[in-house]
Amino acid sequence: MAFWWSLLVLAFAFAICKFLLILIPPKVPSIDVDASDVLEYGSQSQENRFIYVPPRGAAQQSGKKVQCYEPATMKYLGYVPALTPDEVKEQIEKVRKAQKMWSKTSFKQRRQFLRIVLKYIIKHQALICEISSRDTGKTMVDASLGEIMTTCEKINWLLSEGEQCLKPEYRSCGRSMLHKRARVEFHPLGVIGAIVSWNYPFHNIFNPMLAAVFSGNGIVIKISEHASWSGCFYFRIIQSALAAIGAPEDLVEVITGFAETGEALVSSVDKVIFVGSPGVGKT
């Protein structure tokens, strides 16, 4: 009898400890993202403004540029390069190498990445909304609802449900196959290519990126030529969050350009995510 009581006490203590661990929030590091250049409001010329995070390890081949302006005031914001098809393929290969390492990571590490991003968004939501507002002409209220709230909800859902959705599961084989078992496993696809629209630049970048990274994929995101200024700053947030957990720095890439850039992307990746009009998608 004493043995069973001891066993019961140990089980109860274990359950209490496990419950307390759930209540204690995990330690989430903070990240710093340089926003000094995007917060400058002085007069800018087309020669002294260049806000792009350049591709690592390769010089730009194309002389084409995407010029960026505030739609509300037509103030010049800067420019980004329009990548050539060869440059796009270089970026995809970098992501492919990084994805092979990332696909072996645990869900614990992936959740930490999401928590770091979420912490930054909540702390710097005014900055994120201001940049989105300047690049697209939307109001701060629209940016708060369409950029911040929706992205935070996506992260919270992935934190609570993401791992469960990706776990292997058994399914019925039917009466004629009672002697068999069907098991469904979910494996990373590889490199995702995303072409996103201009209207909600923050959400449209982070929405496919969060799902791709959490499920073990790499992703290359072609941002709209009408919202490239903000997109390049948002890319810095992703880079800082990846560095904070020791993830491969090339796991996520943001590219800029026009139609030929998007065509090169969709022809070289394992899956395509598209946000935009049917007309743009067909071209």
User: Measured between alpha carbons, how far is 44 from 24 in angstroms, rounded to an integer?
Assistant: 48
Determine which helix (DSSP H) or strand (DSSP E) holds 249, and give its type and residue range: none
Residue 215 lies in a domain: yes
pLDDT tens digits for the chain (283 residues)? Answer: 666 676 676 767 676 766 555 556 678 888 988 888 777 654 444 444 444 444 445 445 556 899 999 999 888 888 899 999 999 999 999 999 999 999 999 999 999 999 999 999 999 999 999 999 999 999 999 999 999 999 999 999 999 999 999 999 888 888 787 788 888 999 999 999 999 999 999 999 999 999 999 999 999 999 999 999 999 999 999 999 999 999 999 999 999 999 999 999 999 999 999 987 777 666 6
Residue 32 lies in a domain: no
Q: Are strands 271-274 and 252-255 parallel, antiparallel or unpaired?
A: unpaired
C-alpha R_g of the chain: 22
Q: Are strands 182-184 and 169-171 parallel, antiparallel or unpaired?
A: antiparallel
Residue 96 lies in a domain: yes
Classify residue 187 by burial, with Cβ atoms within 10 Å: 0-12, 13-18, 19+.
Answer: exposed
**Side chain identity at residue 9, one-letter code:** V
Residue 53 lies in a domain: yes
Q: Cα angle vertex 276, ends 206, 197, to 5°?
A: 45
**Tokens 């072409």 identify what position?**
195
DSSP 3-state percent helix, strand, coil across the chain (nearest 5) = 50, 10, 35
Residue 9 lies in a domain: no
pTM, two decimal places: 0.83
| Separation in Å, CA 271 to CA 188, 192, 275 | 11, 5, 14
Domain count within the chain: 1
Q: Residue 246 sits in a domain of what CATH number? A: 3.40.605.10
Q: In terms of DSSP H, where are the helices of 103-180? A: 107-123, 125-136, 140-143, 150-157, 163-166
Residue 93 lies in a domain: yes
Domain residue limits at 208: 37-282
Residue 151 pairs in a beta bridge with none
- How many C-beta atoms lie closer than 10 Å to residue 169's C-beta? 12
Residue 18 lies in a domain: no
Q: What is the three-class DSSP state of 218?
A: strand
